[in-house]
């Protein structure tokens, strides 16, 4: 008669532990690499630069369709002029909403049709010489050449 060996309790515990760790790892990997999380991270990166007054780096994160709207130099000058000079704001805080997937979207009526775009609501909280105010803006994120890029809405 053949001797059938049973797995020891230690072996069963080890297998359960390994399955548990793999499950947690795969869940975290999915969350970290999900497109909506990546889109929100790009928006956060953009507004960190904006809040620091580093408009050169925020401009670098724009989609090419946005870069056609204004040159890097004009963007840097305009953003600094409007927010810092006119509003008297040195920095601001911001909150980012959840990313909402949009299957097809255009930045403007004549702009290119973009697929798999994410819309993220951003609230910028300013404190300046004219008091405190919030600016709420829908920001759009689309992949271009494998990178998530920032767009604003110019539809009317």
Question: How does pLDDT run across 33-57, given as a tens digit for each residue?
Answer: 789 999 999 999 999 999 988 999 9
Contact 136, 123 (CB under 8 A): yes
**What does the radius of gyration of the chain's CA atoms come to, in whole angstroms?**
23
Q: 4 lies in a domain?
A: no
Q: 1 lies in a domain?
A: no
User: Residue 24 maps to which CATH number?
Assistant: 3.10.450.100
Cβ-Cβ contacts under 8 Å for 134 (sequence gap 6 or more): 123, 124, 125, 126
Question: How does pLDDT run across 109-156, given as a tens digit for each residue?
Answer: 988 999 999 999 999 998 888 888 899 999 999 999 999 999 999 987
Distances, alpha carbon 90 to alpha carbons 44, 56, 77, 80, in Å: 19, 16, 15, 9
Q: 46 lies in a domain?
A: yes
pLDDT at 8: 79
CA distance 149 to 62: 5
Q: 22 lies in a domain?
A: yes
Q: 81 lies in a domain?
A: yes
Q: 20 lies in a domain?
A: yes
Domain that holds residue 133: 10-152
Q: 2 lies in a domain?
A: no
> φ, ψ for residue 131 (rounded to 5)?
100, -170
Q: 5 lies in a domain?
A: no
Cβ atoms within 10 A of the Cβ of 85, count?
9
Q: How confident is the model at residue 13 (pLDDT cuts 50, 70, 90)?
A: confident
For the residues of 15-51, what is the DSSP string, one character each?
HHHHHHHHHHHHHHHHHHH-HHHHHHHHHHHHHHHHH
Mean pLDDT of the chain: 87
CA distance 23 to 83: 47
Question: pTM score, two decimals?
Answer: 0.77
Domain count, the chain: 1
């Amino acid at each position: 008669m053949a001797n059938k060996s049973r797995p020891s309790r230690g072996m069963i515990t080890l297998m359960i532990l390994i399955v548990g760790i793999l499950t947690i790892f795969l869940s975290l990997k999915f969350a970290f690499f999900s497109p909506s999380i990546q889109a929100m991270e790009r928006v956060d990166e953009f507004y960190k630069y904006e809040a620091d007054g580093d408009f050169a780096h925020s401009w670098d994160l724009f989609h090419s369709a946005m870069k056609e709207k204004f040159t890097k130099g004009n963007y840097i000058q305009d953003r600094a002029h409007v927010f810092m000079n006119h509003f008297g704001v040195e920095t601001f805080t911001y909150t980012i909403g959840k990313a909402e997937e949009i299957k097809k979207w255009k930045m403007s009526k004549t702009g290119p049709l973009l697929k798999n775009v994410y819309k993220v609501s951003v609230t910028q909280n300013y404190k300046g010489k004219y008091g405190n105010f919030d600016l709420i803006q829908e920001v759009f994120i689309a992949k271009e050449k494998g990178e998530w890029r920032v767009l604003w809405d110019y539809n009317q």
